[in-house]
Structure 1
Amino acid sequence: MKDSNNVVSMQGVFKEQQREAKRTLSLPAPVTAVRDKAQALLAEQAKLVFAKVDDSLFAMAEKAHGQDEQDGLFQALRLLRVERRKVVERFSTHLADAFHVRDVPADERDDPYAADNLSLVHNDDLEQLVAVDTMVAHAKRDFSQPLTEISLRLNTLLSVKIYDKNNPLGPDAICDAFVEACRPLDLHIRARLTLLKKFEQLVMANLGKLYEQCNDLFVEHGVLPSLKQQRRAARQQRPSPGAQGVRGGQATAAEASQERAGSMSTGGHGGGHGLLPLGAGVAPMPPQDLLSHLGALQSHLPENYDGEEIQLLNVNSLLQQRLLEVRQSASLAKMDSDIIKLVEMLFSFILEDRNLAEPIKSQLGRLQLPLLKVAIADKSFFSKGGHPARKLLNELADAATGWQAKEGYASDPLFKKISEVVAKVLAEFDQDIHIFSTLLESFREFILRERKRAEKLERRIVDEADGKAKTQAARARVAAVMDALTAERDLPPVVTEWLEKVWSNMLFLTCIKEGTESERWNRDVRTARDLVWSVHAPMPDSRKQLLGLLPALQERLRAGVEAVSLSAFDARRMFAGLKDVYRERFALAQRLAEERSRKAREAVRDEVSEQVRSQAAQETRAPAADVQADSAQPAETVVELPQMEELEQVVAQAEVAPAASEEVEALPQSDSHWQQTFRLAQGSWFELKRGDEEQFRCRLAAVIKDIDQFIFVNRNGAKVAEFTRVELAHALRNAQLMPLDDGMLFERALQSVIGTVRKSRGEMS
């Protein structure tokens, strides 16, 4: 381990020496001056970023939705306060290193279509990469003219060819330097995105001032001073808006697009047409031109697709055909090329998703071009979970999760509504994303009406099953109490009648209305126990206790008679029968007491001499034993009554679950499918198979806890299946019942794409 540490340490020293050697390499004086100027300005702007992000993170932490998120934001806040100076220093170092330019490999310059070149998902966190690519793309677009001048001037001073990627003052280099400077920080993703947003607002959006000062500094050093005059002359010679045939002082998007596309078709390619690789001699297609071409492709999509034949669109191929038709040539910017690939991967996942029926996937697949246009026009599409276009796609998919394509499905209300929404997007969406919000609101109103109708039927089914379960459970618990009180006891017939006709019903009603945890239930169980004790208490020892109990017991029995609506005739008869039992009990107590007293007096009278006393003592003990035996005789046939705590345990252990089929064997508690039944969430969707032919979608509507039963319904609210817990575990084990992923479709697709790219990159490395 020590040697290993030494190796690592020596490697670190070696890398630092290499870095220092790079810094000391002589650069042309103009480049050195520009480097120092840029380094100083950007470092000052970076310090301002940390000052501003502090307030933003504090406000976000106070409004955080959960404790974990709030803790993560506060931790990021503290870390940034401590590390800001080191981050700015690392940022300056990386900026300086960028001036020791390396040549960009040809495959990175000319082959943006390679499968391993998807920059949007280059790192682990897609959202961060989208934010970075967005700010870089915006800066390249906004500052293309001064950037071109810087590249031309650097090309005259350096031996390495300068491209966008290796320009030390380009948005790529500046943004990469900041990302690398922040990489060692363990930040919550929201904090990292906020930091990048502030960097975009305060640094990247203001690069124009930096580029102007750098170009002026180059001019001061005599580096291509004529470029400044050429730029001024070009602005003066540019035709006025009126000479361009515009309406209202501005050229229409179509005219501007046609003009730019026409100029591209003749530039450096000898008149060839079509989609060409980046760097093949034509400029990258401006986003507005790309959107115009995609809009034309969108308008020519067929009105309806066959649900069985929907296929993923090859956008590059369609663009190639489009450019050939209009006799234009163009290339795709790296950012746009990556977005096209990413959207294709997302829709590839959607079209393979087993959660959705084929006709629904057919309709959602038609949204590929509109959503691609959204992603090109608005780079926050991938990082903004609340984007209206994403929300609409998620809502359509969520509503269709339980939908099945039955015969004549084209007339199904849900399918018709989804088809209508998709058709409106294709027909009306150009670049205004508000149409997605409008359609989302309309679709939600439709779904709300649909679900209200289904909920009425579902509620009736669940209430019926719940009522049946409560009845079954109450009967089982009452029976458990009665069995515990009467087992192995020879009770008078009238007491048995009281328990069966009155008190079983009384307990049943209490269990249904108030449950077994209520005070009322405990009082009624105690009454039943007192009734049994009253006719089995040992006499004469319990005579006094029984006398104290009977008045209150009689009142409770009268209340029970009224609660169960026992007829007055039966009530009088049963009370009379009970009085006869108690009269016999007290008569027995009187006889036993008198017998015990008489034998005690005889024992005292016989004590006249020591021998007689001894004999009398023996005789006294014998009769006393006889008396006790006589008095205890009734108790010998009585089994000890359970205490209230024991009765509570009997109720808790009462078997109330519906009997499973004899063919279904019990599963051990450790079985994964048995454990899974305890984690299923109400409302989850499943695919249920019955035989080789029949399969359908169903939703877990309710878990009837009293009898451990699971009720499943279809999307219309009708019951389609019910399982006991052990039956459900077997259904899951045998893949008869398979859970469907109920996460949001777009987010699931995005996670799948990220996973696929990570895996492919891991295999390549």
Structure 2
Amino acid sequence: MSDYPPGMTKIALGASGRSDPARVLEEIKRISVELLGAVPNGLYSPVEFTLQDSSARGGATRHVELQALVKLRQQSSGFVMRYRQQIAQGFDDFRSLRIRNRGDLPLSLVAENQLAYHLAGQQLADAIETRFAPALETMGARLDKLADDLQMQPGSNPIGAGRLAGAFIETFRDAQMPHDLQPLMFRAYEQELSRVLGDLYSRINNLLATAGYGRPAQGPRPLPPTNVEVARRDQEHELVQQIRRPRVVDPAIAAQFAQLRAELHAWRQQMPEQASARDLLPRRELRNEEVASVVSLLQPESPDVFVRALGGDPGQLASAIRGHLVEGARRLGHNPEYTRMSADQDDAVDLVGMLFESLFQSYALLDHARRLYGRLVMPYVKVAMSDQGVFVQREHPARRLLDAITEACEGNAAATPQDRELIERCAAISQRIVADYQEDLAVFATAHAELETLLEQHRRRVELQEARAAKATFGRERLNEARAQADNTVHYLFNEPVTGPVGEFLAQPWRHHLVQTLLRDGPGSPAYTETLALGDSLLEADRLARTGRDGRRLADRLLSLQDAISHCLASSGLDEDAATQRLAGLISALALPDAPRNLQAVPAPVTDEEGADDASLWLAGGTDTLDHDPETAARMRRLLPGEWLRLLDPAGQAVAVKVAWISPMTGRFLLVNRRGLRVLVASAAELASLAQAGRLQVGAERAPTDEAMRHLRDRLVHAA
């Protein structure tokens, strides 16, 4: 009894000792279509990782190529069908003698923009033919004998190098493929063919030999690749495997997740509806594949039930997910009276529900973001069902995408075109995840890479906004310091009685001019010294006028001060006429010895109108009246720029804030939100008082998902 290759049906031998050539050719066709048919689906992941690696290594951002790759992936089923048709067509052509040239690349006039495409195809054909030369030579001789039995002229190999290159070109001829993406696709195609062709050519040669068309072959002996090819292939293989290999989990994080599950189980036992549901009559646990089918059924459906749950009570989202899954299972024929989810599946549902609820409780996510997050619930349930690493691995693609979306949406009221673009891009990405995610996490990585490109621009704008906020805050502090110093000086000058016009001049235009001099030139500058001298000279002139004995000396003093007084009045915004009138009134008052002279009231400090919006956050009265822990205040003083905190605003909304700047003048901390906008300026003692009141939490995680998971753990511990 003869041994036949795997998958080959027994074919009767003819009088010549060979099998029916038509049936042999049909069997070769079946095997070829079967093994080669899935090749197009293997092209996208290596290309995607090559593009991402290029960007990560500091190359140009490959946003256009990644977008085009996503569109190709969305049409993958059509490309697979077209490619299989091209492979099958090669065998039809072999029998009908349509092609009789050495290569099988289509020979026709092509446009210039397609010329590189065809040249790359020819190079691909040459590379395959060189690498698999022995196997192709053996197969060619045997196919010639087969053609002779079919009473045909020997033709080209239907699965030869040229024909396979032509099949690729015809499959993707009309695809919108950027110029820089084409060589990457050809390289991935060559790599996938190299992986498949060794087994295919071996099986076909053995089949032909068994059918009487030559001795059994020992398998192809491709020429050894060059060192450059080895290095390139190893690098590309590593990129492809990055997302598929088991991720390294920190033992401490894994232990925390085990503790998290223990706390989750303890929490679940306290829920009556959960305990009773699992204590009913024995029911079969749904397999993961069955639950995945249910989730796939529900994934494209309306997320309204999840949107409503996100705005409800804690735990409502997990209940909505579980109810939705039960209904979906019923629609697929799994009666809930006889089936149930496993403990691991229940864990995944509860953790996803709590994670999304924690994000909304921990971050200022506005109402228009609820639908976006509601749309993502089912895809993340599917991820959690098969890969619970999403809860413990910070570099997990699905987790990184959720972090990026939260960063883009937090506090985003779509008030500017840039903010609207972020929201719209996140919405489009959530729709793409729903449409494309099956089992391959690469869709999350691609979406994250796309959103990260836009977020980098956003972060640069945030940095500029933070710098402007710091500059404005420092300017306000310098202004307040200058005003306080000017008030002290005026208070000192008002220790003796002066005429009303002199006091009014010192309290208003001179005080304002002193503040401006301190800001522009600083204390100790010549301008500052001259301004102080003007105040002293006016007091001296008032003393001379009060005695009425030395009119000439008084007149000389006023004449010497005229320019300085005019300059001081001009700095207050008075025009020449108003300044002249003010100067005349001042001189007239000093010319009257009997004018009343009284102690002047110290002017009230000028309020900072620009900082009025911070009134509810600034704690008045100085640090003496603040109720705070000195140790907490000392801890606050150790905060550094870039550290994240959690703050409850006056409305009770949790806001992620960052220490953007520390004042070198007052030591106050400028806290900004993720959009770079000022939220609070406070001293260490004020921050300590807020922490004691439960309004401030130090040590918040930078990544939103990390912070949400911490909030989730705290919630479980508190409930237990």
Q: Please, what TM-score do these two structures have when normalized by structure 1? A: 0.36
Greater radius of gyration (CA): 1
Give the TM-score of the pair, scaled to structure 2. Answer: 0.37
